[in-house]
């Protein structure tokens, strides 16, 4: 199976649109380009959503912190969460590295998850026979909330970066969609090498690419710098 080398993880961090070519057939014969997520410091050419009218800076979805090398609550709200919320998303998750504690250090803003102590912690309810397991977290690796947005630790995010992702769902709001060849006969498995003998030396491949579906569904904050730099992702 062939997949586009500039995968969806890299696309979330790419604020310049580098690598926008999406190869969507197994032999790399058909190529197209896709637009990246919003990143304009001056653009406002987006229709008002839920009564909100966009102003200059709203479409700049890749930012550093305002000052210093640590994020403030204002940074997280205005440079991360609101960037996605302005586009009509009501459910927003924030993803950070498992080794990043910047958001957990926001005193008075970060609210810990009540079950982050551990899944296997036994809590007594009166007698030993009534002991029970603490409930599972509704999100894997949920550590808490900032402005009612769940903070989720995941290894796909490099240290010192935070991603806000709109998760309302639906075809019109999905952050990414896979792309296939527009000609139906070239979609799905394609025969690359065909033998004259059944099931012998026959090679079939399939290719597809990922591209942003909703340009406002993702915003990224670099939390240790006032300017944004694309991280190196292997």
List the one residue out of 105, 123, 124 whose CA is nearest residue 114.
Answer: 123
pLDDT at 139: 59
- Exposed e or buried b per residue across 11-45, where buried means at least 16 C-beta atoms within 10 angstroms of its C-beta: bbbbbeeeebbbbbbbeeebeeebebbbbeeeeee
**Residue 146: CA count within 13 A, CB half-sphere:** 29
pLDDT tens for 163-212 read 999 988 777 888 887 777 777 777 777 776 666 776 676 777 776 667 78
How far apart are the C-alpha atoms of 76 and 96, rounded to whole Å? Answer: 12
pTM of the predicted structure, to 2 decimals: 0.77
CB 161 within 8 A of CB 220: yes
| 1 vs 162 pLDDT, higher one | 162
Domain range annotation of the chain: 2-194+204-222
Among 21-35, 62-76, 189-203, the range of highest mean pLDDT? 62-76
Task: Check if the beta carbon of residue 175 is closer than 8 Å to that of residue 168.
Answer: no
218-222/62-64 β-pairing = parallel
- Give the three-state DSSP class for 186: helix
* The predicted structure's pLDDT at residue 172: 80
| Dihedral (CA of 84, 19, 231, 116) sign | positive
User: CA 140, 176, 231: angle at the middle one, nearest 5?
Assistant: 75
Give 123-173 pLDDT, tens digit per residue. Answer: 444 444 444 444 444 557 889 999 999 999 998 899 999 999 998 877 788
For the chain, give the percent of residues with pLDDT over 70.
71
What pLDDT does residue 24 have? Answer: 58
């Amino acid at each position: 199976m062939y997949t586009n080398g500039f995968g969806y993880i890299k696309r979330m961090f790419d604020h310049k649109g580098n690598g926008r070519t999406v190869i969507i057939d197994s032999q790399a014969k058909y190529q197209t380009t896709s637009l990246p997520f919003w990143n304009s410091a001056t653009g406002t050419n987006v229709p008002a959503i839920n009564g909100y009218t966009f102003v200059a800076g709203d479409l700049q979805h890749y930012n550093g912190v305002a000052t210093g090398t640590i994020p403030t609550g204002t940074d997280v709200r205005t440079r991360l969460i609101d960037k996605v919320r302005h586009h009509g998303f009501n459910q927003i998750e924030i993803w950070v590295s498992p080794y990043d504690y910047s958001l957990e250090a926001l005193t008075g803003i970060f609210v810990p998850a009540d079950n982050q102590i551990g899944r296997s912690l036994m809590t007594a309810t009166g007698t030993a026979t009534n002991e029970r397991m603490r409930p599972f977290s509704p999100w894997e690796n949920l550590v808490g909330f900032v402005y009612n947005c769940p903070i989720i630790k995941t290894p796909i995010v490099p240290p010192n970066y935070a991603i806000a992702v709109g998760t309302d769902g639906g075809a019109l709001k999905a952050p990414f969609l896979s792309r296939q060849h527009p000609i139906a006969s070239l979609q799905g498995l394609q025969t690359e090498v065909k033998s004259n003998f059944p099931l012998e030396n026959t090679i079939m491949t399939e290719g597809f690419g990922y591209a942003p579906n909703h340009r406002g569904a993702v915003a990224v904050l670099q939390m240790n710098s006032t300017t944004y730099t694309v991280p190196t992702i292997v």
